[in-house]
């Protein structure tokens, strides 16, 4: 019997990435488990600020600590991880700021628009 494990996460989050990698690793111990990833959309105005990277309210030290913490998690668990360069991130941030959609909204809309076979 197949066991479906549903994982809801925000696709742009480094923490969600780490959690998904660790979940996949642990699911290898369950022979009939299948991971079903599903995106969630939390509008910025309704969500809790954890580590905002666009117009964030956290100070430089908090942002730096978050980036370093992510690298520590990656190193600790042997998870491949690399932040995009400052130039790439700045380009993405400009696109996100000009978009009528929130960052999580497009993957969420695309995922749920697909017909299930």
pTM equals 0.70
pLDDT at 49: 52
Largest CA distance in the chain: 50
pLDDT in tens, 6-17: 998 877 778 888
Which of 14, 112, 115 lies closest to 66, judged by CA? 14
- Mean pLDDT (the chain, rounded): 79
Of 89, 71, 90, the residue nearest 81 (C-alpha): 71
**What SS3 class is residue 88?**
helix
CB within 8 Å of 38: residues ≥ 6 apart:
6, 7, 8, 9, 111
- pLDDT-based confidence at residue 52 (cuts at 50, 70, 90): low
């Amino acid at each position: 019997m197949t066991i479906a494990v549903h994982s809801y996460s925000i696709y742009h989050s480094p923490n969600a990435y780490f959690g998904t990698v660790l979940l996949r690793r642990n699911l290898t111990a369950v022979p009939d488990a299948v991971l079903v990833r599903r995106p969630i959309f939390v509008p910025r105005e309704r969500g809790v600020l954890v580590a905002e990277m666009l117009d964030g309210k956290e100070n430089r030290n908090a942002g730096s600590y978050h980036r370093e913490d992510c690298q520590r998690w990656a190193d600790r668990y042997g998870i491949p991880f690399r932040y995009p360069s400052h130039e790439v991130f700045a380009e993405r941030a400009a696109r996100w700021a000009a978009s009528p959609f929130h960052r999580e909204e497009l993957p969420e809309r695309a995922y749920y628009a697909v017909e299930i076979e």
